Amino acid sequence: MYSAISQEAEPDHELGIYEHLDEYISDDLVFRDELYNEINIKEAIDKPTVICLVYYECPGICSPLLNGLAEAMDKADVELGKDYQVFTISFSHTEKPPLALKKKKTYTKLVSHGDTENSWKFFTGDSITINRLLNEVGFKVKKEGKEYIHPGSLIMLSPEGKITRYLYGSTYFLPFDLKMAIVEAAQGKSGPTINKVLNYCFTYDAEGKKYVFNITKVSGSIIILIAAALLIGLVLSSRKRKKIKESSKV
């Protein structure tokens, strides 16, 4: 996985995620769902919507990401179909609805409640439409041979199609984070990604399935800050003593 996070203008060739908070997706993006139905994404958004960008034959992070999403959906105190919906969209134009249907059957069975049949859709599309969507949400990928190098993230949209939040991860999403993102999207609220700070201070323990405090990284940062403060203090003190000496000579 490769991930870069920014809210600045992104170069066309740069991989990663460039947050487009408060921007809206276009109203003419049409994809095919797992049953070959042509769906206008914007028109289908009538509630908070999670956009999950993957490619179905990915040998890397896409399967763990979908597993992590399904686990969070199963544990979150919100109801799929009532409170929110999920659109999983392939960014590989060579993938077709039969493969999308196969993946849907695999992952929807991991969610024990909610309307997975109608509210967790798996889409495919043509290259032009896919690239337009990727550009609009700031999701940059690069194809190498038959595979793609790409970041991992969930993108929250309000019922009006406004981008309200990015949830970063590749194997695990906190159910509480998902719930709060859905609640905020329902209200049309957007905000900076708190997880960028949390991901720095905490690391995910896959075996224990929880986040643990990264004492080494945080301690190192504190030491650097203290050293910088001491250095600044010494410089200022030296300048002050120099001024006192110069004034005493006068």
Indicate the range of 4-18, 32-46, 53-67, 191-205 predicted with least confidence. 191-205
| 246 against 115, higher pLDDT | 115
Per-residue pLDDT band at 105 (split at 50, 70, 90): very high
| 80 against 194, higher pLDDT | 80
Q: State yes or no: pLDDT of 220 exceeds 80.
A: no
Q: How far lies 7's CA from each of 10, 89, 132, 201, in Å?
A: 8, 23, 18, 21
Show Cβ contacts of residue 224 under 8 Å, excluding neighbours closer than 6 positions: none
pLDDT, average across residues 61-74: 96
Radius of gyration of the chain (CA): 23
CATH fold of 5-191 reads Glutaredoxin (3.40.30)
Q: State yes or no: pLDDT of 248 exceeds 90.
A: no
pLDDT, average across residues 17-26: 95
Per-residue pLDDT band at 245 (split at 50, 70, 90): low
Mean pLDDT taken over the chain: 86
Cross-strand pairs, 123: 89
Query: What is the pTM assigned to this prediction?
Result: 0.74
User: pLDDT tens-digit profile of 37-52?
Assistant: 999 999 999 999 999 9
Mind spelling out the 3-state secondary structure of 118-183?
A: HHEEEEECCHHHHHHHHHHHCEECEEECCEEECCCEEEEECCCCEEEEEEECCCCCCHHHHHHHHH
Q: How far lies 41's CA from each of 59, 138, 186, in Å?
A: 27, 17, 17
User: pLDDT tens-digit profile of 175-186?
Assistant: 999 999 999 999
Per-residue pLDDT band at 4 (split at 50, 70, 90): very low
Query: Which residue in 198, 29, 196, 207 sits closest to 125, CA to CA?
Result: 29
Q: What does the pLDDT read at residue 6?
A: 43
Q: State yes or no: pLDDT of 211 exceeds 50.
A: no
